[in-house]
Amino acid sequence: MRGRGFTLIEILVVIVIIGILASLVLVGVISALNSAKRSSTEQLIEQVKAACESYRIRWGDYPPSTLAEFKARLPNDTNNGAEALTACLSSQDRGGILFQATHVDYYGNVDDDRVDKNITNWYFGDNQLREILDLYGQPLMYVHHKDYARSAPGTTLYRLRAGKVDVSLKPARAEATKTFACPDKFQILSAGKDGVPGSQDDLVGW
């Protein structure tokens, strides 16, 4: 007597069950990866904040929002804050580098710009204007407190390239008082997974 085989319906049911289980595993893996990126970006922001405090102790002020203060001829006005932050914290002057990323992927040149000289004596081996990137591959936003009020309509000081799109940034204000957050320091943030500053998934450093 022959053994009974699987019917077509039974095989289809098994395939559907396997598909459902695979989907659940995939969702779990994606969620874990996103959580890890978020956590690592939060840690990165804290490290950069600590480096900014060390910069203030060494130089008497926090890194500027633009390298124009160094009388540098800048190729564009995109990612100014991110580039100034990276250049200042990477300087080899007055005691050495204050922030050096643990992985090369934490640095980028999203808008692909260069200058004709090493403005701050940074340790990089070329004259690219680099940015410190979050774990989503986007530059960290940085604004010195003295520049908060320069966010009037039409300004390009805080223009950030997110992906292939330039977006305008505005320093954040506290909901309760409507005054700028960290009024005597700086604001630093990651635009998060969606790459859009001002959305709910932003990671802020204040």
Q: How many CA atoms lie within 13 A of 185 on its CB side?
A: 15
- Kindly report the backbone phi and psi dihedral angles of residue 107, in degrees, each rounded to the nearest multiple of 5, phi listed first: -120, 145
pLDDT at 200: 83
DSSP 8-state class, residue 169: -
- Kindly report the backbone phi and psi dihedral angles of residue 144, in degrees, each rounded to the nearest multiple of 5, phi listed first: -70, 145
Spatial contact of 127 and 115, defined as CB atoms under 8 Å apart: yes
Q: Tokens for 205, please give them.
A: 């450093």
DSSP 8-state class, residue 204: E
Burial profile 63-98: b = 16 or more Cβ within 10 angstroms, e = fewer: bbbbbeeeebebeeebbbbbbbbbbbbbbeeeeeeb
CA of 18: how far to CAs of 11, 12, 14, 101, in Å?
Answer: 11, 10, 6, 42
The count of other CB atoms within 10 Å of the CB of residue 204 is 15
Model confidence pTM above 0.85: no
Q: What is the pLDDT of residues 105-135, one digit of tens each?
A: 899 998 888 999 999 999 999 999 999 999 9
DSSP 8-state class, residue 193: T
DSSP 8-state class, residue 182: S
pLDDT at 160: 66
Whole-angstrom Cα distance, residue 183 to residue 65?
Answer: 14
pLDDT at 151: 54
pLDDT at 84: 94
Q: Tokens for 9, please give them.
A: 């319906």
Residue 135: CB partners within 8 Å, gap ≥ 6? Answer: 37, 38, 40, 41, 44
Question: pLDDT 10s per residue in the chain (206 long)?
Answer: 455 667 888 788 888 888 888 887 877 777 778 888 889 999 999 999 999 999 999 999 999 998 988 888 888 878 888 999 999 999 999 999 999 988 888 999 988 889 999 999 999 999 999 999 999 988 998 999 998 887 544 444 556 665 666 777 778 888 888 899 899 999 998 988 888 777 888 888 88
